[in-house]
Amino acid sequence: MALNSKNNKRRPISIWNTWHLKLVIQKTISRLAFIRGITNSLANFFSSSVLLGIITLVQLAAGAILGANISLSFTLSNYTDLSISALSTIIWDGIHSFTLYTVLFAVALTLLRALSDSYVANQRQKLAIRLAQEQRSLPDSLWLRKYHEEYMPTVMTINNAIKQSFDSGNFDDEEIKKHIITLLSYARDMAMSWDSNHKEGYAANLMLYAPSTLRIAQFIKAHWKQNHIFFDANNPYSVKAQISGILYVAASVNSEKTFYGRKENENNPPLILPVCLDEDLHTNEYLSKQTLPGAPEAFRLGSYHYTENLLTEIERWLNEDCWSYYSESQAQDIYERYKDDHSSRSLVSIPVKLPTHVQIPDTGVDLKEGLSVAVLNVYSKNARMLRGNASDFNEFCRPLVSTLALCIAAYEIWTKLPSGEDENGYVDPKSDGDET
C-alpha cells in the first residue's frame, strides 16, 4: 500500500465487534455445512416407504412379544381381589429385559419416523415456496409482448444505424447521444414494468471507464470533495498509483434525461468510483485492495452484479468482506453516504462490453471484442428490484447492452480525442489542464 494511503492503520478482527462476532459464527456454521447434508440424507432414509414397512413389522413384533410376556407374568387364576397398583407391579416385575428393549426400540423408530416426516414435509414446503417465488419473479406476458414489439425493434434499429456509421465513417454526435439516452430509458422502463408492484422510483445511468493510463488526475481533483471517501488515498494526486481506473457517470435517466458526456456540471458533480482490477495486482505493488459492490465489482468481474438491498450489502461489505482494508472513519463515511441516498435501495450493474472488434485506421483506434468500456446501472428506491430475478433481466438486456457499447465506441471516436489518449483509444474524462 502506498505510503500516503489514508488507511495505513487497518481495523483488526475482534469478537467484541458485533459484526465480527456474527462473522465468526457464520464461518463456523459454514464449516459445519456438511451436517445439513447428513441430516437430509438421514431424514429421507427414515421417511422412505421401505423403512415404513420395517417399522410396522417391528411394531407388530414388539406388540406380540409384550403381550406374550404379560400373559406369562400372571400365574394365579383369580385376580379380582388385586388392586390396580398390585396389577401394575406384577406386570412391570414380570417384563423381561428383551421385551423392554424391543418395545423401546419400536418406540424410538416410530418417533424418528415422525420427526423425519415433519422435517421432509417442511423442506418440501420451503422448496414449493421458492419455486413459486421464482415463477412470480418472471416477467408477465404483457412485458414480453412489449419487449418484442417495442423495445427490441428500436434497439435493433439503433444497432443498425451505428453499424452503418462505422461503415461510412460518418458519426453524428448529437444523434448518438440521443441513442444512448433512449437505451438508458428502455433499461429503466424494462425494470420498472418488470416489478409490477412498483411503478416509480427507478433510474438508470451509464458509467464510462477511464484507465489510470489516461490523464485523469485533474478530473478526480475537480470532484475530490464529493468522491474522496471512495478512494484509498489522502489526496487526488496519489490516486492514480493505487487504482486501475475510474468509473464516472456520463448519462442518467430518472425523472429527467441528462447526458453529461465529459462536461462538468457544478450543480450535479459526477459520481466517481475507483476500479482495481485483479490482473494489475502482479504489476502494481501499490494497487489498493479496496473494492465496492455495484459498478466497480461488475466491471472487475466482467459479469452482472445484483444487490437486493444496497444498504445491507454495503454494511456487510465494509464489516465482513473488506473489513481489514478500510479505516473506521472511511467505512463510516461510506456507509453514511449510501444511507442518505434514498434513490438507490437495490441495484443491478451490467458491464458494457464491445460485441465486435472496433478498428478505425484514420484515428488509430483499436478496441478488441469483449473489451469492457462502461457499466450500465439500473437501480430502484425499493429493495429487491426485479423481484430478485436479475439473472433473467440481464439476459433480456444483452441486445440493449451490446448496442450501448457500439454507441459508446462511436461517440468516443467522433469526439475530438485529447492528446492524453492511450493506445487503446480511451478518452480522458476531462482533457483540459496539465496532469499532476
d(CA 410, CA 165): 8
List Cα–Cα distances, 145 to 10, 138, 139, 248, in angstroms: 53, 13, 10, 34
**pLDDT at residue 398, rounded to an integer:** 95
**pLDDT at residue 402, rounded to an integer:** 94
Q: Where are the alpha helices (DSSP H) in 207-347?
A: 217-222, 224-227, 295-301, 310-316, 328-340
d(CA 211, CA 430): 13
Question: Pairing mode, if any, of strands 202-211 and 358-360?
Answer: unpaired
User: Helix %, strand %, coil % for the chain, to 5?
Assistant: 55, 10, 35
Backbone angles phi, psi at 197, to 5 degrees: -80, -15
Contact indicator for 233, 283 with CB cutoff of 8 Å: no
**pLDDT at residue 341, rounded to an integer:** 81
pTM of the model: 0.69
**pLDDT at residue 429, rounded to an integer:** 41
For 62, other C-beta atoms within 10 Å of its C-beta total 20
Contact indicator for 346, 312 with CB cutoff of 8 Å: no
Residue with cell 449510501: 338
Burial state string for 294-317 with b = 16 or more CB within 10 A and e = fewer than 16 = bbbbbbbeeebbbbbbbbebbbbb
**pLDDT at residue 435, rounded to an integer:** 40
Residues 65-85 have pLDDT tens digits of 888 887 777 665 566 666 777
Low-confidence ranges of the chain (pLDDT < 50): 1-4, 7-9, 264, 414-436
**pLDDT at residue 430, rounded to an integer:** 40
**pLDDT at residue 363, rounded to an integer:** 57
- C-alpha cell of 252? 442518467
Domains, the chain, in order of start with CATH, read: 47-134 (no CATH), 140-414 (3.30.450.40)
Which helix H or strand E contains 211, and what residues bound it?
Answer: strand 202-211
